[in-house]
């Protein structure tokens, strides 16, 4: 299983929002299972509400299609993941990103992200896939 950061998931299912680097596109295309944290669903809803992202569909329909049509699994935010996120250093100020990092650490699965701040978490280094 490979976990996709929110912006990677968005670019993968809606390429018109910005192209993915070829290496990352190939990694995603070859993955046997893809997942996002449910926090990515919240983060995307927030971006739509703020007018920073347009989905072209009602948000619930877009999320449903982005998950089911692309066979992406939404991983729940559990108490263990929340605790792990709270224990992470505050290197990254965005709590949504700390939840996503904690999800990858908890599941011990690779995480694809282009967020440079993720590299500042040494515990994530063996799992992080970036361009």
Looking at the predicted structure, is the pLDDT value of residue 92 above 90? no
User: Residue 80 has what pLDDT?
Assistant: 98
Least confident of 83-87, 91-95, 110-114: 91-95
pLDDT for the residue numbered 17: 87
Q: What is the structure's pLDDT at 126?
A: 98
Q: For the ranges 21-35, 47-61, 100-114, which has the lowest average pLDDT?
A: 47-61
20 pLDDT above the threshold of 90: yes
Task: Express each pLDDT in 62-77 by its tens digit.
Answer: 999 999 988 999 999 9
- pLDDT at site 98: 98
Q: What is the pLDDT of residues 105-114, one digit of tens each?
A: 999 999 999 9
Dihedral sign computed on CA atoms, order 123, 114, 23, 110: positive
The answer to whether the Cα torsion of 131, 21, 129, 98 is positive or negative is positive
H-helix segments, 1-131? 6-13, 22-30, 38-49, 59-68, 79-87, 95-107
Is the distance from CB of 35 to CB of 6 less than 8 angstroms?
A: no
Nearest to 48 by CA among 57, 35, 39: 57
pLDDT at 79: 98
Q: What is the CATH classification number for the domain harbouring 8?
A: 3.40.50.1010
Task: Domain count for the chain, please give it.
Answer: 1
Structural domain boundaries enclosing 26: 2-129
pLDDT band at 9 (very low <50, low <70, confident <90, very high): very high
């Amino acid at each position: 299983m490979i976990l996709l950061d929110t912006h990677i998931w968005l670019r993968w299912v809606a390429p018109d929002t910005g192209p993915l680097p070829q290496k990352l596109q190939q990694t995603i295309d070859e993955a046997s299972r893809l997942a996002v944290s449910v926090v990515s669903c919240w983060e995307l809803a927030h971006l739509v509400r703020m007018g920073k992202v347009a989905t072209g569909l009602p948000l619930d329909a877009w999320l449903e299609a982005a998950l089911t049509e692309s066979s992406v699994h939404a991983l729940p935010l559990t108490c263990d993941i929340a605790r792990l996120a709270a224990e992470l250093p505050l290197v990254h100020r965005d709590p949504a990103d700390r939840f996503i990092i904690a999800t990858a650490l908890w599941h011990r699965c690779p995480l694809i992200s282009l967020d440079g701040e993720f590299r500042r978490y040494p515990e994530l280094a063996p799992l992080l896939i970036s361009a």
